[in-house]
Amino acid sequence: MSYRPIYLDSHATTPVDERVMTAMMPYFMEYFGNSGSINHQYGWEAEAGIKQAREQIAAAINATPEEIVFTSGATEANNLAIKGIAEAYFQKGRHIITVQTEHNAVLHTCQYLESLGFEVTYLPVQSDGLVNLQQLDAAFRPDTILVSVMAGNNEIGVLQPIGAIGIMCREREVLFHTDAAQAIGKTPIDVEAMRIDLMSITAHKIYGPKGIGALYVRRRNPRVKLAPQMHGGGQERGMRAGTLFTPQIVGFGKAIELCTELMETESARLLALRERLWRQLSSIDDIYLNGHPTMRVAGNLNVSVAGVDGSALRLGLQSVVALSSGSACSTGKANPSHVLMALGRSEELSRASLRFGIGRFNTEEEIDKIAEATISTINSLRQATIKQPAMI
């Protein structure tokens, strides 16, 4: 068996849980029908699987099954939410508020809308990564139609106060969308209590399959209008056309149900692992925690290390542990993380960062091994810098 590094990149993706895989299997070969075939049993079987998944997802977020619109993932859900609202409400106004630390699926969608004549306010964040609610308050305009603030950040794990933001939006009758791809299944989310009108979620970050996600679209108080971005067979109440991918949907339902079941014990376990890792790493000089120390998802630790080159650091670790500097989508690009820069970190510290994403299958032994490797790699890189100043 070939040796593989320890996987510690659960913000990028997660393996499929065996229980999820078991639930999916019959829907590939046996219950293969098209859920849109309403005239025969094959269609009904697929529809039954999808109905159950819709109920499982709705139950996890206190929504109704009709409010779940399946998409290919959170990227598509973000696009559908933001473009769909912009198109449906442009006569009411053309101003959108979002945040500088959002995922590119939100930021680039907003930039695209700017090219069409919409105006977007990109709120800054505080040095702990949290949105300042007074700044949000001041950003509202009479023509604001949408606020989009992520629930959990994909680089630093910071959890925004979405309940408070939801109330602010509702009071002003402005729709509230949240990208909850990193928060779902890890922290309780209640779309009623938090006054969420639209929410993007995805299965592959919660031990479900890739290629499936959903957009929650509120149906009552208020009823959200959404312009479809995919036209065709009229599936998903006309909001997203295309034959539903039954096995993935069934897996998504099972994955989210499992997360709800395991949430309390898992988040305590992940938190203990994170603290164990940080306790060891903080023995190093000039290492900084990025993001709020407690308002973050349990499995996330993001640090910057002074006096080392970021890519040399990751190169030095890659045989031991699989992790990234920032989001999987921007890794490899020369730019420093836009999230860390928004926290006010220097360009050097933004580049010399490590994102540890601890997940369901990581153990204490793995964490200790990773801590040891990280400390020794940093020490040897720093010694090399001292010994060979002319080379740098």
Ligand X SMILES: *Cc1c(COP(=O)(O)O)cnc(C)c1O
Decide if residue 287 touches ligand X (CB under 6 A). no
User: Minimum distance from CB of 103 to ligand X (Å)?
Assistant: 4
From residue 171, how far is each of 165, 188, 219, 335 by CA, in Å?
10, 23, 18, 39
Q: Is 182 an interacting residue with respect to ligand X (CB under 6 A)?
A: yes
Query: How far, CA to CA in Å, does 95 sit from each of 91, 116, 206, 242, 364?
Result: 11, 12, 33, 30, 48
CA distances from 187 to 81, 163, 260, 302, 320 (A): 22, 13, 9, 18, 29
Confirm or reject binding of residue 178 to ligand X (CB under 6 A): no
242 φψ region: left (φ > 0), alpha (ψ -120 to 50), beta (else): left
Single out the residue of 10, 35, 98, 202 in contact with ligand X (rule: CB under 6 A). 202
Q: 178 - beta bridge partners?
A: 199
* Residue among 62, 23, 48, 36 nearest 236 (CA): 36
CB of 81 to ligand X, least distance (A): 11
Token look-up 């977007």 returns: 120
- Residue from 74, 113, 162, 239 in contact with ligand X (CB under 6 A): 74
DSSP symbol at 295: S
Q: Of 150 and 258, which has the nearer Cβ to ligand X? A: 150
Name 291's Cβ contacts closer than 8 Å, sequence gap at least 6: 128, 129, 153, 156, 157, 158, 300, 302, 343
Contact flag: residue 63 with ligand X (CB under 6 A): no
Per-residue string for binding with ligand X, 15-54, x by CB under 6 A?
A: ----------------------------------------
Q: Any idea how long the chain is? A: 392
Site string for ligand X, 117-156 (x = CB under 6 A): ---------------------------------x---x--
Please tell me whether residue 213 binds ligand X under the rule CB under 6 A.
yes
Binding segment for ligand X (CB under 6 A), chosen from 45-53, 68-76, 127-135, 157-165, is 68-76
How many residues touch ligand X under the rule CB under 6 A: the total is 13
Q: Is 169 a catalytic residue?
A: no
How far is Cα 199 from Cα 218, in angstroms, rounded to an integer? Answer: 9
Q: Which of 33, 49, 73, 291 binds ligand X (CB under 6 A)?
A: 73
Residues near ligand X, by CB under 6 A: 73-75, 103, 105, 150, 154, 179, 181-182, 202, 205, 213
Active-site residue set: 329
